Structure 1
């Protein structure tokens, strides 16, 4: 097992995922396609495997690998509920920062606030992003059934921003009929502006598991207006960002 794997994502040299699977059970999550253990990938949101020897392996790897940027939670949420028990993310981040690695964390959980002490010790090496698909808890539950409510994510974002961390918002996936409305876009730009956060956006990408007629997102697959609505939402977002002076980028533009 390796703790740090090479990352193909822009801006990241390595990826670190302390757990396989994610309890949040987001219906759009692509990570199941990149999780090799079928117990997890075929039971997404119901099975999470803990990498129990992660810290031992990481301690060895940081001594021989070139320093770089580590994406924490690229195919799992490193701050999902199991982290409250095992604290692998907390200790892994401590090891990385103590050895001069930069850390980029993406999460849906305010649990990250628990680790302010660890993160603050090397604040210049840290950036933190929150995925926010909707600003209303009841709506977010439709696509992220077990994830913390967006209100708690926004509160955590505000607190981290006030503490001087580099922060960002990930508005994705953009799903027509769910979160492509002007009110959602305006509110997200407001939040990014208030917290001095970069706002990244990413449209829904159809994956094989979504093409199952029983999948909630399947009706969009056959929709003729899907791409048109996505384009309209992105154009509106860019205009709002420009007017408010918010840095706004495509999800994989760094």
Structure 2
């Protein structure tokens, strides 16, 4: 089912970064809401979702005229100091609405004209490859982080049925890396995977970050517990993966394929 699309005019685009994203000056969210509707998304437990009155994933607000607002805000922000931007903290900038809206692309165009000191693009969508031309113009100031939580499609479908397939994400990473861009695979949150997972990632990307519910949901796993994620693990017969130490088995495999200075744990992998 396609989400309801509503166009709204925002007053501001850049928001001060805090908490998990301390280290950035700002966050930037082209959309409010997300059609990928991942079962474990921490935004489900935030006021923007809980007080909406509509199920998460069934609505998306498009921030109309965002590029012109951002252009002005960038000029002002750069007068005050370094501008480091995390895009996006509570939505996916390349969710399906972006195919027609081209909102994220317009924001990249604004950032090419008035360049921030650093931009991290966080997505799970292969659509990001459409904007390689603009990303290359930000080349030394941008990193593209693509979420790849598992290499097992049945697991991906159980947790994120509306998200792009794993093979498509790996293909996107390969294209971005081949273009000469700074890329990373974000195993965030770590989901059950095969022993081949680390090797598959090493074939397409040179940097990886791993995180889990207990480190990365902002409440030591309590938000995730409230979402009932444990039940999905039980249904898959993979309850042993819902554990604070489960990520370590993936880290062990990653160390066979990535040097220590290209392997990051939790918050450190997302900082500028």
Q: TM-score range by the shorter chain?
A: 0.7 to 0.9
Give the SS at the match of 2:77: coil
RMSD: 2.5
CA distance in 2, matches of 1:192, 1:43: 33
Please tell me whether the aligned partners of residues 188 and 210 of structure 2 are also in contact (alpha carbons under 8 angstroms): yes
Counterpart of 2:202?
A: 193
Residue 76 of structure 1 corresponds to: 91
**In structure 1, how many angstroms separate the alpha carbons of the residues matched to 2:255 and 2:16?**
34
Partner of 1:137: 153
Partners of 1:123 and 1:237 in 2: how far apart? Answer: 30
Unaligned residue ranges in structure 2 (runs of 5+): 1-10, 215-220
| Contact 1:22–1:76 (Cα < 8 Å) also in 2 | yes
| Other-structure match for 1:235 | 248
76-85 vs 202-211, which moves further = 202-211
Structure 1 position 21 matched with structure 2 position 30: no
Deviations 1:71-118 (A, max 9, x none): 112110000000111111001012123212122111110111111111
- Residue 187 of structure 2 corresponds to 171
Structure 2 length normalisation: TM-score? 0.79
Identify the residue that residue 86 of structure 1 maps to in structure 2.
101
Query: CA separation in 2, counterparts of 1:155 and 1:69?
Result: 27
Counterpart in 2 of 1:2? 12
Instruction: Flag structure 1 segments of 5+ consecutive residues without an equivalent.
Output: none
Give the TM-score taking structure 1 as reference length: 0.84
SS of residue matched to 1:96: helix
For residues 202 and 37 of structure 1, do their structure 2 counterparts lie closer, same or farther at Cα, with a shift above 3 Å needed?
Answer: closer
Deviation at residue 154 of structure 1 after TM alignment? 0.4
Per-residue CA distance 1:99-154 (angstroms, 9 max, x = gap): 12122111110111111111112211111011111223332111112111111000
Native 8 Å contact 1:14 1:68 kept in 2:
yes
Conserved? CA contact 1:211–1:218, under 8 Å: no
Residues 245, 140 of structure 1: CA spacing in aligned structure 2 closer, same or farther, 3 A cutoff? closer
Tell me the matched-pair count.
241
Q: State the partner residue of 1:154.
A: 170
Counterpart for residue 77 of structure 2: 65
